Amino acid sequence: MANTAALDGINGLRDIRRSPASHLAAALEAGSVQGTVVLQEGPFQTMAAVRVEPRSEEGSRIASVAGGLPARSGEVGGADGTSVLWLGPSEFLVVAPEEAHDSLGGDLIGSLVAALGEAPGQVVDLSANRTTFELTGPRARAVLEKGCALDLHPRSFTPGTALSTEVGNIPVVLQKTAEDSFRLFPRASFADFLGRWLLDAMREFASPEVP
């Protein structure tokens, strides 16, 4: 299934592909405050929605391909750069780097489909459904807390967990990848609004602190 030539771009289509927040790239760079809070878009990740009963036989086949399914809200499964986010008791979102997509030489979607087989459930390629914002820096939590009702304090929201919730009234999956490092997965149509909302929330940290 490996097709190394495809990585150069499928007939040039890869080069003309635009991510949902690509028009904000300059604004994201200008609005980021190095060492305080930095916002970037990490576009084109391979994503697959999986609906399968995790305790069933097909569930364990999917788990072996994806690197483990999370058992409850907040947990993140997966291995080797692949994250499996919990969306519901039998609903998961598999997030992998762009190269894992079948059209670029990977085999993630195909192997998930093959693992499910004819069993009840579904595997859908949702790579274009959501984009990824990466919010990092010591004030990243302060930015998110302006629009997220969850308790984001490290004592309850620990690295390696993900919760589906609302940030700035936008439904997102919020993943904490490390201390002071978050990934937000908004749907593509909300990327523009959420990007601008985050920039606005970050703006105060560009100014010197008022004593």
The minimum distance between CB 148 and another protein, in angstroms, equals 10
Q: How many residues line the site for another protein (CB under 8 A)?
A: 13
Q: Should residue 8 be labelled a site residue for another protein when binding is judged by CB under 8 A? A: no
Residue with smaller CB distance to another protein, 40 or 129: 129
Residue with smaller CB distance to another protein, 36 or 165: 165
Q: Should residue 164 be labelled a site residue for another protein when binding is judged by CB under 8 A? A: yes
Residue with smaller CB distance to another protein, 136 or 161: 161
* Spatial distance between the Cα atoms of 190 and 40, rounded to a whole number of angstroms: 15
The single residue among 8, 29, 57, 166 that binds another protein, judged by CB under 8 A, is 166
Indicate the SS3 state at residue 12. coil
Residue with smaller CB distance to another protein, 44 or 182: 182
* Spatial distance between the Cα atoms of 141 and 136, rounded to a whole number of angstroms: 9
Residue with smaller CB distance to another protein, 91 or 200: 91
DSSP for 101-132 reads SGGGT--HHHHHHHHHTTSS-EEEE-TTTB--
The single residue among 75, 91, 98, 180 that binds another protein, judged by CB under 8 A, is 91
E strand or H helix at 177:
strand 170-178
Binding mask 60-79 for another protein (x = CB under 8 A): ------------xx------
* Spatial distance between the Cα atoms of 103 and 10, rounded to a whole number of angstroms: 8
Q: Should residue 88 be labelled a site residue for another protein when binding is judged by CB under 8 A? A: yes
- Region 94-153 residues binding another protein, contact defined as CB under 8 A: 149-150
Angle at the Cα of 90 from the Cα atoms of 85 and 94, rounded to 5 degrees: 30
Residue owning tokens 């593509």: 188
The minimum distance between CB 164 and another protein, in angstroms, equals 5
Task: Look up residue 61 and give its amino acid.
Answer: R
Residue owning tokens 């997966």: 78
> Please, are residues 79 and 67 in contact by the beta-carbon 8 Å criterion?
yes
Residues at the interface with another protein (CB under 8 A): 72-73, 87-89, 91, 149-150, 163-166, 171
